[in-house]
Chain A
Amino acid sequence: MKRVVQALEARVLPVAPPVRPAVLRLVTGGWTAYYLSRRVDMLRSIHRGDPKLFDPVGPCRLLNSPLPPLLADGIIYAELVASAAFTLGLKHRVVGPAHAALLLWTMSYRNSWSMIFHNDNNLVLHTAVLGLTPTADALSIDAIRSDARLAPELLDWRYGLPSTVINAVTTATYLVAGIAKLKGPLGWSWADGESLRSQIAADGLRKELLGSGAAPLGVQLYEHTGLFRLLATGSLALELAAPIALLDRRVAKAWAAGAFGMHWGIRALMGITFRHQMSGAMFASFFPVDNLRTERPRG
């Protein structure tokens, strides 16, 4: 029994150096700062939208009506500053939770205007994990200030936990998406490809009629039903089998590569851009991002 507990502990709470979560902080924080800074104008425009279309989600459900636009703008600017400070690892104990809360609010508010986009869920969830765990003990201003070293030679389960939790959260979201397809009106027949083909057609039609243009590849391949069967089966398997990625590091890498490819495939066929997923930042936790040469446990 003790062996089982120890094995489980090693799997769930593996020891790691502080560089491991620090790299994830740099990747995720850097991506967030870049992503939001490119969307300030779009977000400001949303803040000035028709108040009758406000349909709050997440923490924004506390609101009965939209915030004054200038206040909503101000929260974005505050989040931009927080994301920069988070990425640099400055006063992480305060900035980490503040950044996580501000990003949660910003993205929830963005999704509170009659349409929920599902490409930012993991960004918000990963940031919550990284903001609430010790991810700035290396490669950060805090680390330099505390002992003048960018990469302290330590090993501790606290540094292994963030990537474990992030991997679990990521695979859980894919599992939920897979179950959604099975519980939908099509059930297992979703995998026969006809539904995916129709979805791509419906999406392409909307894009054509609303002025942005359908993805040319999706239009060209529309008649190839067999290909859509293959793609539907593959993507459904990838979603339902996502938790298996937690059992083995090589399987995890293969799964992450598959999911990464799936999002690029969606981009090619449908013109839908899942930016966080396609950047690769979302899957960084599935790959070794540190050098495990250090040996001294902390404490």
Chain B
Amino acid sequence: MTPDGRDKLMALTASAGLLAAVLTPIRQHWCEAPRDGFPLSCYPMFTAKRRRHGSVTYLLGTDANGERRLLHYSYLGGGGLNQVRRQLRRIVAEGRADEAAAIVAAALEATPRRRDRYVTRVHVVTGRYRYGDFFAGQRDPASEVVHSTAAVDKRGTLPRSLDRQQHDEAPANEGMQPSG
């Protein structure tokens, strides 16, 4: 074989290897618990079967009058909405919702957005919504579970995590269901 032919064979082998590597994650879709990876992915996005309703875990602020205000995900962390959303869901699943509420309360205390400056309490909640109703303007959740609450300390001290009993007594929790 000529040197050029050998080079061609090597190039083709390497190219085929790369292509095979890119295609290999397909096999994940035949597994019971597919595991995605990077940069060799099985691209599971948009494949889940969804119903007409869905649950989302999010951050809610309330002011002294109990007015509700949705809080921006960036109070909890960086990396974009979807990353923080996933992280928040994982934190709640691991039973660490108190930590998330405390972090958000501290961030609110340190650098509040103008619209959030009257927020006095932070809640980590999971709300269940009907998509059709939501996009038709019905913004209230069909149900809402409160995982944790923290007070925003306006005097510059660290936020104080509240236990469920304290939280249930607060007017801000009207319409919310504490998590079980």
Query: Does B50 belong to the interface (CB within 8 Å)?
Result: yes
Q: Which B residues touch A37, using CB under 8 A? A: none
- Interface contact B127-A180, CB-CB below 8 Å: no
Q: How many A-B residue pairs have CB under 8 A?
A: 196
Q: How far is the CA of A165 from the CA of B12 in the complex (A)?
A: 9
The answer, among B15, B38, B46, for a CB contact under 8 Å with A121, is B38
Choose one: B22, B70, B73, B131; the contact of A198 (CB below 8 Å): B131
In contact, A172 and B23 (Cβ under 8 angstroms) = yes
CB distance from A51 to the nearest CB of B (A): 12
Complex alpha-carbon distance, A108 and B29, angstroms: 22
A247 CB–B CB distance under 8 Å: no
Interface size on A, residues (CB 8 A): 69
CB distance from B142 to the nearest CB of A (A): 12
A217 smallest CB distance to B (angstroms): 12
Report the separation of the CA atoms of residues A110 and B85 in the bound assembly, to the nearest whole angstrom.
15
> Which of B54-62, B146-154, B169-177 binds A?
B54-62
Q: With a 10 A CB-CB cut-off, give which of B26, B42, B54, B135 has the most chain A CB atoms.
A: B135
The reply to whether A57 and B25 contact each other, CB–CB distance below 8 Å, is no
Task: Write the chain A residue with the least CB distance to B2.
Answer: A299
Write the chain A residue with the least CB distance to B59.
Answer: A210
Q: What are some 9 contacts across the A-B interface (CB < 8 A)?
A: A52-B96, A118-B43, A132-B14, A172-B19, A172-B22, A180-B26, A186-B49, A196-B46, A219-B135
Known: A115-B80, A117-B80, A169-B22. 19 other contacts (CB 8 A): A13-B8, A46-B78, A50-B77, A53-B87, A53-B91, A58-B39, A107-B38, A110-B79, A117-B82, A161-B11, A176-B43, A185-B47, A186-B47, A199-B50, A201-B50, A202-B131, A208-B70, A209-B70, A212-B72
